[in-house]
Amino acid sequence: MSELIQLLTSQKIAASFFDPPVRVSGAGEQLIVTAGPDEKRVIYVALRHGGKTVRVGFAAKDRWTNEEIEEAVESNGGTMTEFLEDEMEADDELEFPVQHFHDTGWFHFACDIPKSPEFFNTREGRDLVAYYFGGYCKAILPILNREKD
């Protein structure tokens, strides 16, 4: 987790952690953390299906931010999953692909990690979630920061 904190501070991104987490979708999710430049553009971690799935992703309340992310993906020349892999500098293909959807007024780019609740209580499980969360921070937050320039 210290790598994530270093990432957020080293890139001079004014990311904020919101407490309580910002609601980014409909019923059935328990948000653990949301972070972002404001409460309408956030990277989040949520428990789904009674803890059997962790969703890690980015959600934006406005379509302009959604389109900005789509343009970055298109200019990269691949899918959103490939874009995330490239920005994360992943050694291998990501096991959990990025989904793009719209839910209750939010545009999402998110990965669902379906594992047992016990898995997420292990070091490996926590590291996997932190890896994806950090990847979204590396991929998305610089785009949002660019918008302000």
For the segment 38-51, what is each residue's pLDDT rounded down to a tens digit?
889 999 999 888 88
Q: What is the pLDDT of residues 128-145, one digit of tens each?
A: 998 999 899 999 988 887
Which run of H or E residues covers position 114?
strand 106-114
pLDDT at residue number 77: 87
For residues 56 and 110, is the Cβ–Cβ distance under 8 A? yes
- What local confidence, expressed as pLDDT, does residue 44 receive? 92
Torsion 73-16-149-90 (CA) sign: negative
pLDDT for the residue 96: 96
pLDDT computed for residue 48 by the predictor? 87
Domains annotated for the chain, with CATH where assigned, are: 2-144 (3.30.1460)
Could you say which residues of the chain have pLDDT below 50? 1-15, 149
pLDDT of residue 32: 85
Using alpha carbons, list the distances in angstroms from residue 140 to 15, 92, 121, 136: 11, 20, 27, 6
Quote the pLDDT of residue 55: 93
Q: Is the dihedral of CA 51, 53, 56, 58 positive or negative?
A: negative
- The pLDDT, as a whole number, for residue 7 is 44
pLDDT of residue 12: 43
